[in-house]
Amino acid sequence: MGALSDVTILDLTHMLSGPYSSQLMADMGANCIKIEPPARGEATRKLLADNENYSIEGVGAYFLTLSRNKKSVCIDLKKPEGLALFYELVKKADVVINNFAAGVPARLGIDYQKLKHHNPAIITCSITGFGETGPEPDRAAFDLVAQGMGGGMSITGEEGAPPLRAGIPIGDLGGGLFATIGILSALNQRHSTGRGQHVDISMQDCQISMLNYMATMYLMSGVQPPAVGNSHFVHVPYGTFKTRTRYLILACMGDAFYLKLAHMLDDPELMSPRFVTQPVRWAHRHFINERVQQHIEKQDCEYWLQRLKEHRIPAAPVNDFAYALNDPQVLARDMVVEVPLNNGTSVKQPGNPVKLSAARASPITPPPGLGQHTEQILSSYLDLSPSQLEELRNSGIIA
């Protein structure tokens, strides 16, 4: 059984931050029920759906990835009868998660203050751009906004160049990760209190948290950290260097590693006694990096990886997707998995990074068809009869 197999989640999320959080919990065995509007379903069903490279039978990569291990129930929450049906499901659930804009859950009648009257043990989670309190909770937000306003973009990119966002959507993904942490924390506290609570996740808060020690440095000194590209603000050389084939990472963190590198390269300039200490190396970092680059570009990446390994100098290749997703270590840890589809085929996706020694990995189930599990869930959870289901279906409450 999965570690979260006793947890039932009603998933009202869309796009990325919310679906990513519920996907992580579904991967760990949670019974995750997507509540989708009839007819059109959740918005990510349509993303990339018409792209022949990134879709299968009209379902795009977003939905294929973020909806595995979930079930789909179509209920029209804008109709009173549909909302009443949702409240009945809340009585059977543990968690309700959404990433609507601030204030929307209350307007829809699905916020914690409303749902706790139907189930005092319910845990709700809202992921928004800026949280649900403070002077401006209703500012519009998406991944790039979170990255930009969270401070991280100001130190990303090369010195003197325009700010650069991270290649992966860390604004959205960070919100999803912290939402999962918050939900699991609330579930744990419920063991002692017997009561639920609301988890308020701000994407901007998450970005501020991930500034970590660099924020502390600024708060101590008032000095804005510079953008240093792939370099380091202390260690030299530290960064990426171009070989004859692909880029290589070198990380000489300290005097000992620098001296090893200088002797390995057999470069009298780099072995100069003046470069023995870090402050001098930092002052002459451009010269040192240029000298190292002149050596590195003469051989291919694999040559240098072997040499650096022999001299026990920290190094690694810069992998593109082809290298990263075929790395033997990645494959051995089941980080590329075959996800079955309802048409009998399968699609490869990133696996679950959480490895638990005492919990058996749950079998992967396909991303659901729109409303595929409506009757199954409503009959098993709410004991609705076939005639009741037919009446709801005919009135457009469910699909």
Residues that are catalytic: 172
Residues 6+ apart with CB under 8 A from 219: none
Task: Specify the DSSP class assigned to residue 97.
Answer: E
Largest Cα–Cα separation, the chain = 88
Contacts of residue 293, Cβ cutoff 8 Å, sequence gap at least 6: 241, 242
Q: Which amino acid is at 47?
A: L
Q: What would you report as the CA-atom Rg of the chain, rounded to the nearest whole angstrom?
A: 26
CA distance 187 to 184: 5
**DSSP letters along 265-323, please?**
HT-TTTT-GGGSSHHHHHHTHHHHHHHHHHHHTTS-HHHHHHHHHHTT--EEE---HHH
Can you read off the two tokens belonging to residue 144?
């790039």
Tokens 């009173």 belong to 80
* Number of CB atoms found within 10 A of residue 372's CB: 17
Tell me how far CA of residue 173 lies from CA of 19, 53, 100, 134, in angstroms. 10, 24, 16, 23
Strand ranges in the chain using DSSP code E only, listed in sequence order: 8-11, 31-36, 55-56, 59-60, 70-74, 95-98, 123-128, 198-202, 238-242, 247-251, 315-317, 336-340, 346-350
- Cα(5)–Cα(66) distance, rounded to whole angstroms? 18
Between CA 288 and CA 274 the distance in angstroms is 12
* Residue whose entry in the numeric block shows the structure tokens 């009135």: 395
318 Cβ contact partners less than 8 Å away, ≥ 6 residues apart: 240, 246, 247, 248, 249
Type of residue found at 365: T
